[in-house]
Amino acid sequence: MPEEASVSTFARLLRAALVVYWLAMFAASHTPRTPDLLPVEGGDKIVHFSAYGLLALLCALDRQLRGLMSRTSLLRIAGLLAIYGVVDELLQYPIDGRTCDAFDWIADVAGITVGLGLFALQRRLRGRSTTPG
């Protein structure tokens, strides 16, 4: 029983971290542009890749800890986050200093793919299988 309680507590903490992280991402991308975090050519693409990769990983971990992982879960997470990435880019258009950039979205999707790939790899290495559905 104590182990179940600690998993439940961890699941709640992870969900809180996911929500806070996603809200912070939204806020950061919908405020007037600030100086680049990585002052190198393409640095903003690295930020997009990393941010969406971590978001995808957090979503997958949240689903797993809640016992909701199925064979289609990773595809559904990828689809949802890819759509969110498009909407996020479109909503930036009217914001001062922001642009709607297809290459940002490509970096988002690449990050999502790598984040979910790392999640799937850790599941395989740990010997966990998905449940039907």
Pick left, alpha or beta for residue 129 (phi over 0 → left; psi -120 to 50 → alpha; otherwise beta): beta
Q: Show the DSSP H helices in the chain as ranges.
A: 2-29, 43-65, 73-92, 102-126
Note if the pTM is more than 0.75: yes
pLDDT tens figures, 22-68? 999 999 999 887 666 667 777 889 999 999 999 999 999 999 999 99
Q: Which tokens belong to 129?
A: 């299988």
Q: Does residue 72 carry a pLDDT above 90?
A: yes
Q: Does residue 131 carry a pLDDT above 70?
A: no
Domain extents in the chain: 2-31+42-126
Distance of alpha carbon 70 from alpha carbon 74, whole angstroms: 8
